[in-house]
Amino acid sequence: MRCDSDITSLADLPGKTFAVNLWRSSFHYTALMALEKAQIAEDNLTWVLLSFDNQIPALANGEVDVIGLMEPYNGYAAAEYGDEFCLLFNALDVFGPKQFTTHFVNRVWAEYNPEVAAAFVGGIADAVAWIENNQDAAKAIIAQYTGIDAQFVPDYHFQAHAAVIADDVAFWLNYLVRRGDVTVDWLNPINIANNQYNPTLQ
């Protein structure tokens, strides 16, 4: 949010415009969880779909009231608009240090192509290990693909071995079921995301 706005807490959000990068994404759901905790109906806000890079100028120009960014856009916004942009909340405030992103493949395909599935997951695990040990080189690559100067890119730390955390999968599944965005009651978290094809954890 802009520091010069009349927003001082979540209670001030009704009637405001909130930009997210994707509908029903982790950023969208994080915002919805924050509103729920504050007992604010999501329909009391206007929601706008904007990519991360377009959210920053939209907030600076007053086109939206609140944005939700990920790194390195967050670091860039803090550096370039540090006196103008203020933090309202972050994911840690809302749900704590929980895993919120995974890679999905078709289960039937994986069962028929276990070696390919393991190679895919192994590649992700190798990339996680490489980034952990080569932060400066990783920053240069991230800068190349995001257009954000490497000086604004922070160190990246992912779950060791790209492991899936079952309790965190259960947290998100329970939330989606409670919202009604998942409408079946037979899903088991272990059948949604697991470490079955991760060769670094076998």
Please write the tens of the pLDDT for every residue from 138-164. Answer: 999 999 999 999 999 999 999 999 999
Residue 102 resides in a domain = no
Shared domain check, 64 and 24: yes
How far is the first Cα of the chain from the last one, in angstroms, to the nearest whole number?
A: 45
Query: Among 63, 95, 127, which residue terminates a domain?
Result: 95
39: left (phi over 0), alpha (psi -120 to 50) or beta: left
Residue range of the domain that includes 27? 10-95
Shared domain check, 116 and 83: no
**Rounded-to-5 percentages of helix, strand, coil across the chain:** 50, 5, 40
Shared domain check, 114 and 67: no
Global confidence as pTM: 0.87
Q: Which amino acid is at 72?
A: P
Element (H, E) at 172: helix 166-179
Tokens of 198: 């991760």
Shared domain check, 140 and 87: no
Element (H, E) at 49: strand 46-49
Shared domain check, 164 and 142: yes
Instruction: Provide the 3-class DSSP secondary structure of residue 20.
Output: strand
pLDDT in tens, 75-90: 999 999 988 999 999 9
pLDDT of amino acid 191: 87
pLDDT in tens, 7-32: 999 999 999 999 999 999 989 999 99
Rg (CA), the chain: 19
Shared domain check, 155 and 125: yes
Domain tally for the chain?
Answer: 2
